[in-house]
């Protein structure tokens, strides 16, 4: 049966599970939201989000060199156990992450990592644009909010559309990996070098 994107989004918001797993769960349960949640619980996928507090001291650091040596990336991803860190799925995820960073040049892993002065500057610009748009004052805040959301989806690694499949985000990819491994997995940090680029970010 055809599952609407809105229904998939609702299930994703309720469970924190990746888009692909949400769609499958809804298909398996005939589009019934509660049955889909039960399906994900049975599969153990819906618990991936609850693992957030568990300690991650294992993992991998991977490098990626792109563009004839003009861009280089180092990324660290942590897991709970060495066993998970050595799986092909984990290695593939870290490799994909390094390539994503090379391609999209994010500012930070997540919203918390965006420097306050950068955020303030963006808000200022968006508010000026809103004021000059000719739209009524009551919608300015909403306009700023919308532009900030777009800013986050471009600059926060986890909120970016995954370059190999833009229908999902990097966070969806991470959720899927947590569901597969049954562990808390954290994208710890990354660094990206571009030949000749000024270090002013």
CATH of domain 5-46: 1.10.8.10
pLDDT score recorded for residue 101: 96
Q: How confident is the model at residue 36 (pLDDT cuts 50, 70, 90)?
A: confident
Residue 70: is its pLDDT beyond 70? yes
pLDDT score recorded for residue 49: 52
Q: Which two tokens stand for residue 94?
A: 């870290």
Percent of the chain residues past pLDDT 90, beyond the cut: 46
Homologous superfamily (CATH) of 51-110+156-194 is Elongation factor Ts, dimerisation domain (3.30.479.20)
Residue 44: is its pLDDT beyond 70? no
> Domain 115-153, what architecture?
Orthogonal Bundle (1.10)
* 140-166 tens-digit pLDDT: 889 989 999 999 999 999 999 999 999
* 74-96 tens-digit pLDDT: 999 998 888 888 899 999 999 99
Q: Which residues, 6+ apart, have CB-to-CB distance to 155 below 8 Å?
A: 106, 107, 108, 114
Domain range list for the chain: 5-46, 51-110+156-194, 115-153
Residue 107: is its pLDDT beyond 70? yes
Give per-residue burial for 100-117: e unless 16+ CB within 10 Å, then b.
bbbbbbbbbbeeeebeee
Residue 10: is its pLDDT beyond 90? no
């Amino acid at each position: 049966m055809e599952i609407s994107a809105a229904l998939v989004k609702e299930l994703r918001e309720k469970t924190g599970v990746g888009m692909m797993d949400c769609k499958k769960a809804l298909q398996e349960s005939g589009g019934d939201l509660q049955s889909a949640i039960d399906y994900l619980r049975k599969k153990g996928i819906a618990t991936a989000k609850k693992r957030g507090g568990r300690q991650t001291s294992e993992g991998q650091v991977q490098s990626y060199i792109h563009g004839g040596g003009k861009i280089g990336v180092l990324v660290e991803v942590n897991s709970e156990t060495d066993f998970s860190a050595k799986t092909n799925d984990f290695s593939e995820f870290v490799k994909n992450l390094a390539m994503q960073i090379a391609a999209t040049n994010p500012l930070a892993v997540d919203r918390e990592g965006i420097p306050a002065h950068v955020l303030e500057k963006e808000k200022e610009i968006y508010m000026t644009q809103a004021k000059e748009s000719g739209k009524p004052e009551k919608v300015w805040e909403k306009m700023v909010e919308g532009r900030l959301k777009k800013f986050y989806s471009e600059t926060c690694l986890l909120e970016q559309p995954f370059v190999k499949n833009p229908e999902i985000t990097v966070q969806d990819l991470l959720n899927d990996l947590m569901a597969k491994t049954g562990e808390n997995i954290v994208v710890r940090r990354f660094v990206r070098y571009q030949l000749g680029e000024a270090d002013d970010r």
